[in-house]
Each structure stands twice: as structure tokens, then as C-alpha cells.
Amino acid sequence: MKQRYLGVIGIAAASVLALTACAGGDAGGDANTLKVAYQKFGQFTQMDAHMKQVKEEFEAANEGMTVELVPIEAQEADYFAKLALMNRSASTAPDVMYEDTFMVKTDVEAGYLAPLDDYIADWEDWEQFPENARQAGAGDDGKIYGIPMGTDTRAIWYNADILADAGVEVPWVPETWDDVLETAETIKSSSPDTIPFNIYSGKGQSEGASMQGFQMLLSGTDDELFDSDEQKWILGSQGFEDSLGFIEDIYQGGLGPTPQQALDKNIGTTINSEWIPGGELAMSLDGSWASGTWIESGSAPWPEWSDVMQVAPMPTQDGQDPGRTSMSGGWTLAMGAGSENKDAAWDFISTALSKDNSLSYDIAASQVAVRTDVAEDPEYTDANPTFGFFSELVADTHFRPANSDYSKISAEITVVMESVMTGQQTPEEAAATYDQAVIGIVGEENTMAASD
């Protein structure tokens, strides 16, 4: 099983100044003001509308309280960097923050988050969260630090018209990696101006490449990234090398975007806002949330999307059981450890994650619902034709390693992915580079050979 983080270093002084301005500049410590920080970027704009709605509801119910929204307009890597900077100063630290599940343990270690156990003990809604959802926000000490807003799974989005015009049978259900590559080759031959397949790769895509690209591949092999029983990182696996081989086939084989396009930090927005609606990309390995861009309230409404786009599970490498694979993550709302009014911060979190607010957010953001009452609500199940498909993938999904070293390991994965996609190293050479990097990070005693 696998979980995630993204290491961020080298933030320029200009970024610090920009963050201070973004955060309002006032010192924290006002018990009557809640500072709420969250990501607002590209295709992920639904969070801003959700927070504005919750702010209005919360302030109406709490006379004298003010909610200061701090939307951080940044790609994922920069969002984590800026949030970390906010948390390092009492004057800018948020009372409530939008926290990726893979960041929870790291930020607990850093002292940024407050435990929520005393609050959830009296919160009837907690019964609506299954145990696996509850653990998404748990720290190493077993306490709960984040309440999940939703989860996600990943699969192959494909343009049924493009595939059909290329002579590919639709619905398309690839059974192996070779099936995916053969279909991409078919599209390349029949429609040279169409990009056949996208898989996120390289340092610019950070966790999108490591988790959504590489680990989607590795989870479909017979190998793993981390042995959770032994608590050791696995080196020298054939699955690791083969996963890099798939990246090489796509990018060095002319079956994906050019490496220059793929290394653009904004490619995710470009893909879902421009390339897919414009018929420029045939297939994309992406998340359950992608359709949130195309719905009426999305950043790039595309009324025809449900007639054109279909989804297929990502197959395992050679069709081995269970025949398909996925990766899951998700986001939580967490409370800042330095909040001057933790009771009010909790009230904001519980308001944002009420049944009605969770329902509206999960629909707008195309999230896989974690609350049982939302998942079973006809308004949710009928809102999007892909919700059922992506929810079913949860049975075969994987998670990133719940290990504090994961952030550094993940960054090294993106480095070797980029070296392969740009032709600087062969998969074999890149895998060896990765092995040495891991030993340097965790020590040889915390690694094990794939054959052990």
C-alpha cells in the first residue's frame, strides 16, 4: 500500500513577500477572526466557491466572528511550500487549512496541526466516515488531525470518437500495458496531429508525476515501492525498471506530449481545459476529478463531455489479478496548532464538512464521496455519469507509503522519470540512480532488495 508527499526547497525571498501579502499581513492571534488557507489554482477552483459559501454560513451563525479566506493561487508544489511558510510564523499561520492526506504526518511532526479527537468524540457526523477514511487524517500517534473532504481514484479518460475513428473498438477496455501502447500507436498512425496518450512525468509535475504517473504503473506490477511490514524501501525491482520503461515508450516513442510540453507545470490545466475539449488528446491517465473542469460550474464548461469522454481502468502490466489498478489520495480540513480560537476553528471545519456542504462540494469537485450518507444520496449518484465507475475502483486502489521519508523519495522518482522521458538515461540506468539516491536518504539498513 502506498501514501505521498512532495519535498519543497529553495523558496525565493520574493515568494515569502508575496505570501505575506496573500495572507493579509495582519498578525494572527485574533480570537474573533479565523484565517482559512486553501488552494485555488487552474482546474481546482471549486474549493474557492465552497469556502465562500461556508464563510457566509459560518458568519451568519456566529455573530462577531469573521472568516478571512486565504486562497493560495499556486500549483500543488508551490501550494505546499507557501502553506509551510505560513505555518512557520504565528503571524501568518492559518486556523484552518486545506491539507493533503499525504502531508498530515509530516505536518504533525512539524508541529503545525492540532489533534481533533476531543471534538470528533462529540460529533455525531463522525459515524458517517468509514474507518479507512478516518485514518486518512491520522498521525503516527494515532490521533486524528484532518477530516477528509473526499477521496479520488485514477483511470484512463479517453475520447471515444477519436478511438472509434482510428478503428479501435469502443467501449475500450485495455487488459495490459501493451494494449495501451498499441492503441496509442494506432492513434498516432491514423491521426498524426492528435496526441495519443498522456501520463504525467518529470520534476515539474511533482506528486502528479510520482503518484499519478509512476506509482499508477508500479502498482500494476508484481513489485512495490515500500514494504510496509518490514518498513523498508524496496530497491532493484523489475517492476520499477519496467515502469520507467513505459515512460520511455510514451515520451521517446512519440506517443505523448513532447517532453517540453510535459514539463510545463500547468500542463494539467492545459490538458483538461484545452486539449481534451479541443480533441487534441486521445487518452489521459488522470483523476476522478477531471470532469469537474467540464461541468457547468467548472473552469472550462464543456456540455458535450459526457457524450464524448469515456473511462477505462488502468490495466495491470500483464493482466495479472485483479486486472486493474488505481491510486488514491484525497484532501482534508485540518486545524492549525497555534489557533487562538480552536473551538471556532472546529465549528468552521464541521460546518464545511456537514452532509449538505459535503454533498455540494463532492458534486462540484467530482470527488469520490467519503461520507456514507453522501455516497448513498441520489443527488450525488445521479449528478455525474462517472461517479459510479470511479467509486468502484476503490476496491483495487493503492495508497502512498505512510512514511516520513516519502517526500524525499517521491522527489527522486520524478528526477529519474524526467531523465528517462528526456532520453538522458535508460530505464536501467535511471533505476540504478534511484536506488543510490534512496540509500543516501534513508541509509542502506532501511532498504531491501526486491528478491528478499
Residues 245-298 have pLDDT tens digits of 999 999 999 999 999 999 998 899 999 999 999 999 999 999 999 999 999 888
**Which residues neighbour 393 within 8 Å (Cβ) at sequence distance 6 or greater?**
153, 154, 155, 288, 313, 324, 326
Q: How far is 211 from 5, CA to CA, in rounded Å?
A: 9
Confidence of residue 162 (pLDDT cuts 50, 70, 90): very high
Q: Which three cell numbers stand for residue 282?
A: 486521445
Lowest mean pLDDT among 27-31, 40-44, 424-428: 27-31
Q: In what order do the strands lie in the sheet with 195-198?
A: 195-198, 281-287, 154-159, 309-312
Q: Are 185 and 196 in contact (CB under 8 A)?
A: yes
pLDDT in tens, 108-131: 989 999 999 999 999 999 999 988
DSSP labels for 380-415?
Answer: HHTT-TTHHHHHHGGGGEE-----TTHHHHHHHHHH
Look at residue 114 and give its three-state secondary structure.
coil
**pLDDT beyond 60 at 354:** yes
The average pLDDT across 10-33 equals 48
Q: Which three cell numbers stand for residue 82?
A: 507557501
The average pLDDT across 32-41 equals 93
Which of these, 439, 436, 389, lies nearest to 416 by C-alpha position? 436
Note whether 13-152+330-384 and 154-327 share their fold: yes
Query: What mean pLDDT, rounded, does the chain reach?
Result: 91
**pLDDT beyond 80 at 64:** yes
- Please give the residue that has the higher pLDDT: either 183 or 104: 183
CATH number given to 13-152+330-384: 3.40.190.10
The average pLDDT across 202-229 equals 95
Write down the pLDDT at residue 29: 56
Domain borders along the chain are: 13-152+330-384, 154-327
> Any idea of the CA torsion for 151, 156, 159, 164, to the nearest 10 degrees?
-140
Q: How far is 438 from 240, CA to CA, in rounded Å?
A: 13
Whole-model pTM? 0.83
Write down the pLDDT at residue 133: 87
Q: Domain 154-327 is of which CATH architecture?
A: 3-Layer(aba) Sandwich (3.40)
| DSSP code for 57 | H
Confidence of residue 42 (pLDDT cuts 50, 70, 90): low
Lowest mean pLDDT among 74-83, 303-312, 359-368: 74-83
φ and ψ at 193, to 5 degrees? -85, -5
DSSP labels for 227-247?
Answer: ETTTTEEEES-HHHHHHHHHH
